Chain A
């Protein structure tokens, strides 16, 4: 681990010297761009003033470890949340590299935005501590962003990606609410199998107004529906994913990567297999990453009778499509791919179902209307591809969680 860390410092020194030699007009190294933020923390503290409709975030890209539900330690690439660490201090770069080293989380930090926001997303490439032979650049692909500009689309073939020890700030003006997702697009089959995936959604501008739908008042909505039909009380991001542990082990052991034989054996929701999905707390950190929490997202769904629960479901699995089903409560599907299911002349295309099949790169907005008499009951959200209800060889786990009614 020390090797990688020192290599990163060397990289900073190197790029820094090149900068002072006058070869560039832009600061090399860690650089957070966030309006109103003077100390490079991507937050506003003290005298700093947050401009209206502005959000900032600082992600690190690197590697780390997570634990599968059967106890298997898994090497991952991933993103860490560095927001709040001031970059513009004498020790800022060192603090950021320290915080980001082997800090990869799975899934990646949840990103929640509001329609109308201007979003400044800084990505710092921390580097791979466990793979000092790798010099991979990284990107953030805001998957599904409408009317995207190539420069901020995060596809390395089409534009730019950021090298180790440096930062790239993406800019997104959020005009459209919905359920998106994000991931690194560099060497996508590898970096995504390795875990550089996360949930991202944009809340609707209609939030805060009140619409009565089916006899109930709502002030939160998945979309600007004008009639409350996408209203909800609670929202949960659900990201479908799965790992091929042989691929991860080969990566950690610096072996040729088995792309052709890639076959996932751990099926998960939000980075965990059942029963870890219903653990409301962060999973205990593996010792191998220095005690950093790497699986903070629970998928335990709790609600009260009569409430409407919005599931923001996305799939970033790289090997297969997945079917998710509910047992006991029908799914009311009101959106797909960050668009309300509504025809061009206003016809609602909503439908009720017990299962949806979600391919990689697809998202669905599903509302569960909890029945009035459901108090104390437990329902299940699970894959009907029943062989994925497993954590490798351990039976009855995998892609499942519980919906517990208060």
Chain B
């Protein structure tokens, strides 16, 4: 799983343990969510394949930029991503079977659908768990150097999308997003957008969040505006993509689509901002 030189079996087992713990930590609420099970049944094979492709890309991007593996070759990144995807699918199948969400009465496509929908989130969790939950005793100076440097644009984007996905995914499949969007006025939606922007600014610039020193030290108005705008744009894109993926826009007017996207943009923005710092 890691690119450590000559890892022992014990080291590997520890890494897999961290990965499994991370996978469950991030995805367990969704494993117990009826809407997620239904999604696996309703989706066509094409949509499931699209989800598989998106998560594989996300894993490749995250593994490329996370932790201390920035010197890793693309083949290492690819191998790690395949391992995590396989672990995610395997864990999802086992856990769904354990809680009775997949059983012999379902068709093969429905079993595969449920496993994919749940497994993809677990795979991202495995990746983050492996990269973030371990102790890097020998690399403290490297870690410090990394934390003091402002991440590159592509790295920020990748980590932001990953963070937004992890947080927004927990609520995107629920009916409540459409319910809230239908109930609130345009002023409420404006308030949601403003709070999302304020939260982003607070996390990255004003609250001494872990690993936020590069943003504090830059003290540039341009960086501030650019970062906040980029984070919120990412949040809107991730929110829109997730809602589209869960078919929340079917038969909806433009206003309803915008409202739902704005409602989901709040958790997505928080995830995109915190993701830049916490899952590096």
- Are A and B genuine complex partners? no
Which residues does A use to contact B, with CB under 8 Å? none
Which residues does B use to contact A, with CB under 8 Å? none
